[in-house]
Amino acid sequence: MSNDTSSPKVNYLNNDYSIKSWLLTVDHKRIAILYLIAISFFFLVGGLMAVLFRFELATPQGDLVSAETYNKLFTMHGMVMVFFFLIPSVPAVLGNFLLPLMIGAKDVAFPRLNLASWYIYMLGGTLTIFAAISGGIDTGWTFYTPYSSTYANTAVVTAGIAVFITGFSSILTGLNFLVTIHKLRAPGLTWSRLPLFVWAHYATSIIMLLGTPVLAITVALLAVERGLGFGIFDPNLGGDPVLFQHLFWFYSHPAVYIMILPSMGVISEIVAAFCRKRVFGYTFVAASSLAIAVIGFFVWGHHLFLSSQSVFAGMVFSFLSYIVAVPSAIKVFNWTATMFRGSISWETPMLYVLGFIGLFSIGGLTGLFLANLAVDVHLHDTYFVVAHFHYVMVGGVIMGYMGGLHYYWPKITGRMYNEFWAKISFLLIFVGFNLTFLPQFVLGQLGMPRRYYFYDAEWQTLNVLSSAGASVLGIGYLLPVIYFLYSLKNGKIASQNPWGAKGLEWEVADTPPDPHNFHEIPVVTEEAYAYAKEAH
Amino acid sequence: MGKAFQFYPEAASSFAGQIDNLYFFLVALTTVMTLGIVAVALFFFVKYRRRSDDECPEEIEGNIMFEITWSVIPLVVCLGIFFWGTNIYMGMVQAPPDSVPVYVVAKQWMWKLQHPNGRSEINELHVPLGQNTRIIMASEDVLHSFYVPAFRTKMDVVPGKYTSLWFRPTKIGTYRLFCAEYCGTSHAGMNGWVHVLSEADYAAWLSGNVANESMEEAGERLFTENKCNTCHAATGNTQLGPSLNGVYGKSVTLKNGRTVTVDDAYIRESIFQPLAKVVAGFNPVMPTYETQLNEQQIMQIISYIKTLKPVDGQEGGHE
């Protein structure tokens, strides 16, 4: 079965080299690569903006850029990173590539729709870049009214339309995944045998499908108020600005779970493969994904504790926010328990698992501060919040996404990456991340509000630390671009299953996979991660 | 300001101690849990490292007792934190009845503050030590948020409605006031200082530069200038509009049969959108004063209406 030689064979990469075969492909694997390229581009754009405003914040005075430019930079950074990197990264790249391979299908349920999703994403992305060039947008990525609907003089409607359009990419991907998981599982692949990556994407797809339309409606209402003067959110027109916050967070809080759940799915796969063990408490890890998806829809009001929302509503939302913390804790404990008596291999993907556990623990536990009615009064809208959501969303997604890219790189490209540089890159990212965001917790507790162009001199030391961390982080992100690209031509040829991992994608599919994934439909006869059963 | 570096903000209100206790409990919990879980993971990582390539560990399915333990303990801890925080919060929501009001109008990008005696300030707030102080806020444009880190208190200022917060300063000093809700270009410049003064210093400050008129006097002047008294005559009922004598704090019956309490929010709404809640027995004839009066003037009129005592034999409202 194993095929270690570079025998000439047809795979999804070499079956056709034309540009047209890429741009019109309906192969989920090629679409994943289209996403990988596009998402990397947007990550670079969003990252450069962060580097610029971190340089600005290295001194207390506003000196490097103007206040208007600073406001546009943090707005565009948030918008690009949230809608064009964090939300699509794991599902659109790794999810697209792996779901059909993991469940033994030839492709997703609707291959053309899958390609359409990518084009919709690109259209939304292009419009965002256009909005950035044609004046930018300075409302904050949260678009709070009535500033966004009445007072801002920037390209709010263009950016709003971009978000509106991109949302459909997400909706269609969610729909595609749901149908794929329901209808295209290979014979014998029952629900209780599904890899946890598939469970995580199932839960994510539910949120995408149910939540994203609300974002589209919200942005549409904003555009109607701004463009046509219909009073919806602006009190001068008879509207209610707090209504906007409810609608916005009804999507945007669950969106955090759209980002983090797929990443958790990746972590489950890696931890099993690199410990050569079934994930401890499989059922609990799978069920906690669904629990997070469901409860996650009922906690949005914890963003509105100080918005003049009623005190009783605040209590309910605080309570539910504490409940949603529990399934996340269950996952972390189970991954750690999986390592117990495992056979742990020290390659880069496993380092990202450790990184995930560290960053996500800090991110999750600092959420307990902000879910608290009393403590949030002090910390709300300060740098503490900025640090918290970067740990959860960015820390969580980056660790899962990078871990997954390294783990699946041989499957995707047929080549091995350079292990030494990958480990250096991991270290830089991990250290840089903590250096960037740990000081921001302290800044928040000291009272530094977020979105400030200049600040009190006594906060400079902590800001300089944070800016220095961002530079380290930037180098950590650039290294993989180099060694991944280098590996495409010069990397060691990957064997079919270089990690010795279980799963249809490693054991049955070729590396890189055949254009149609499998030569014949695989039949599944065992549970996921049945490492022990194979041995003797 | 000479401090080069600090880890702990000044604590200068009656809430600060309680909130900081919970805050430091959470810091300890986060530190212990994170270091604990990372230490266990690293220990396993080293202890169970792969020693040979054909190693195959024994299968461990899971353990229901472990699952229950690490679900229930976090749940109980979370609920404890919830009740702890909610308990503190309940004391922060309702201002004590003896609170002295300060009226605040937020606009891009400044804070306009007015004391009941008419003394007004911009981006500065003087308050006496130990005095329960209630900040009543309105916005002339976008969202803002009134934030005094040393008091551990903050509240959004929302256009179209009144919001409020209260505090009792416990330490003489000068503290930062920030706008915490992003409000446009000069958001970072929308800040100032809160001066907590001793009783004597505060009295001196308050009389130092008395305005020509108190808030009530300004309200009375506006009430006459805008001809409010034509329909809401202070001396008696003109049949055109309800009398306002002694009406503040009472509840009145509306045309649709509902009742509403006459408070700051209702008076403000009735001036800006008079037809929204018309008192039973009156015709919906009042025009809006949205373009004639600004938020600060409304606050002055409210202060004046509060002073109007009930006149005998005249229906104002009922308890």
Three-class HEC string of B217-268: HHHHHHHHHCCHHHHCCCCCCCCCCCCCCCCCCCEEEECCCCEEECCHHHHH
- Cβ(A72)–Cβ(A137) under 8 Å? yes
Q: How far apart are alpha carbons B243 and B317 in whole angstroms? A: 9
Chain B: closest CA distance from residue A35 (Å):
33
Q: What is residue B110's predicted lDDT score, i.e. its pLDDT?
A: 92
Q: Residue A146, preceding bond cis, omega within 30 degrees? A: yes
Mean pLDDT of chain A: 94
Residues of B in contact with A350 (CB under 8 A): 45
Q: How far apart are alpha carbons A520 and A406 in whole angstroms? A: 28
What letter represents residue B129's amino acid?
L
Q: What does the pLDDT average to over A5-20?
A: 81
Q: What does the pLDDT average to over A388-393?
A: 96
Torsion of CA A109, A103, A18, A511, to 10 degrees: 180
Per the CB < 8 Å rule, is A372 touching B78? no
Residue B245: pLDDT band with limits 50, 70, 90? confident
Residues of B in contact with A323 (CB under 8 A): 75, 78
Mean pLDDT of chain B: 88
Q: How far apart are alpha carbons A17 and A13 in whole angstroms? A: 8
Q: Which of A105, A6, A106, A57 is nearest to A524 (CA)?
A: A105
Question: Under DSSP, is residue A245 helix (H, G, I), strand (E, B) or coil?
Answer: helix
Tell which A residues from 359 to 378 touch B, by Cβ distance under 8 Å: 361-362, 365-366, 368-369, 371-375, 377-378
Q: What is residue B315's predicted lDDT score, i.e. its pLDDT?
A: 47
Q: What does the pLDDT average to over A2-18?
A: 73
Q: Which of A341, A327, A215, A321 is nearest to A278 (CA)?
A: A341
Structure tokens at B128: 């006496």
Q: Which of A406-410, A531-535, B256-260 is predicted least confidently?
A: A531-535
What letter represents residue B93's amino acid?
V
Per the CB < 8 Å rule, is A373 touching B85? yes
Structure tokens at A16: 């056709």
Q: What is residue B236's predicted lDDT score, i.e. its pLDDT?
A: 57
Q: Which residues pair with B157 in a beta bridge?
A: B144
Q: What φ, ψ does residue B146 adopt, rounded to 5°?
A: -90, 115
Mind listing the pLDDT tens digit for each residue in B251-272? 888 988 899 999 988 988 888 8
Q: What is residue B211's predicted lDDT score, i.e. its pLDDT?
A: 59
Residue B318: pLDDT band with limits 50, 70, 90? very low
Q: Does B65 touch chain A (CB under 8 A)?
A: no
Residue of B nearest to A528 (CA): B61
Q: What is residue B276's predicted lDDT score, i.e. its pLDDT?
A: 87
Q: How far apart are alpha carbons B45 and B220 in whole angstroms? A: 76
Q: Which of A283-287, A394-398, A530-534 is predicted least confidently?
A: A530-534
Question: Under DSSP, is residue B178 helix (H, G, I), strand (E, B) or coil?
Answer: strand
pLDDT at A461 over 80: yes
pLDDT at B53 over 90: no
Q: What is residue B224's predicted lDDT score, i.e. its pLDDT?
A: 83
**Which residue among B6, B41, B92 places its CB closest to the CB of A446?**
B6
Residue with token string 């034509």? B230
Q: What does the pLDDT average to over B100-104?
A: 95
Q: Which of A116-130, A267-281, A481-495, B49-63 is predicted least confidently?
A: B49-63
- Cβ(B182)–Cβ(A259) under 8 Å? no
Q: What is residue B221's predicted lDDT score, i.e. its pLDDT?
A: 84
Per the CB < 8 Å rule, is B57 touching A62? no
Q: End-to-end CA distance of chain B, in Å?
A: 52
Per the CB < 8 Å rule, is A144 touching B33? no
- All domains of chain A, ordered by start, with CATH? 23-530 (1.20.210.10)
The model's pTM:
0.90
Q: What is residue B35's predicted lDDT score, i.e. its pLDDT?
A: 97
pLDDT at B63 over 60: yes
Q: What is residue B292's predicted lDDT score, i.e. its pLDDT?
A: 80
User: Which regions of chain B does DSSP assign to beta strands (E)?
Assistant: 100-107, 110-114, 120-122, 124-128, 133-139, 144-148, 153-157, 163-167, 173-179, 191-197, 251-253, 259-261
Residue B234: pLDDT band with limits 50, 70, 90? low
Q: What does the pLDDT average to over A357-376?
A: 97
Q: End-to-end CA distance of chain A, in Å?
A: 18
Q: What is residue A3's predicted lDDT score, i.e. its pLDDT?
A: 46
Q: What is residue B132's predicted lDDT score, i.e. its pLDDT?
A: 97
Percent of chain A scoring above 70 in pLDDT = 98
Q: What is residue B217's predicted lDDT score, i.e. its pLDDT?
A: 85
Chain B: closest CA distance from residue A347 (Å):
11
Q: Which of A342-351, A396-405, B206-215 is predicted least confidently?
A: B206-215
Strands B191-197, B124-128: pairing is parallel
Per the CB < 8 Å rule, is A362 touching B93? no
CA distances from B292 to A354, B223, B242, B305 (A): 63, 12, 21, 18
Residues of B in contact with A384 (CB under 8 A): none
Q: How far apart are alpha carbons A362 and A102 in whole angstroms? A: 31
Q: What is residue B243's predicted lDDT score, i.e. its pLDDT?
A: 83
What letter represents residue A317's amino acid?
F
Q: What is residue B227's predicted lDDT score, i.e. its pLDDT?
A: 80
- Cβ(A436)–Cβ(A462) under 8 Å? no
pLDDT at A80 over 60: yes
pLDDT at A536 over 50: no
Q: What is residue A2's predicted lDDT score, i.e. its pLDDT?
A: 44
Question: CB-based contacts of A396: which residues, under 8 Å, 6+ apart?
Answer: A259, A260, A263, A264, A356, A359, A360, A363
- Cβ(B74)–Cβ(A288) under 8 Å? no
Mind listing the pLDDT tens digit for each residue in A89-101? 999 999 999 999 9
Question: Under DSSP, is residue B216 helix (H, G, I), strand (E, B) or coil?
Answer: helix
Number of Cβ pairs < 8 A linking chain A and chain B: 276
Q: What is residue A533's predicted lDDT score, i.e. its pLDDT?
A: 65
Exposure string (b/e) for A176-206, b if CB count within 10 Å is 16 or more?
bbbebbeebbbeebeeebbbbbbbbbbbbbb
Count of CB atoms situated within 10 Å of the CB of B58: 10
Chain B: closest CA distance from residue A57 (Å):
12
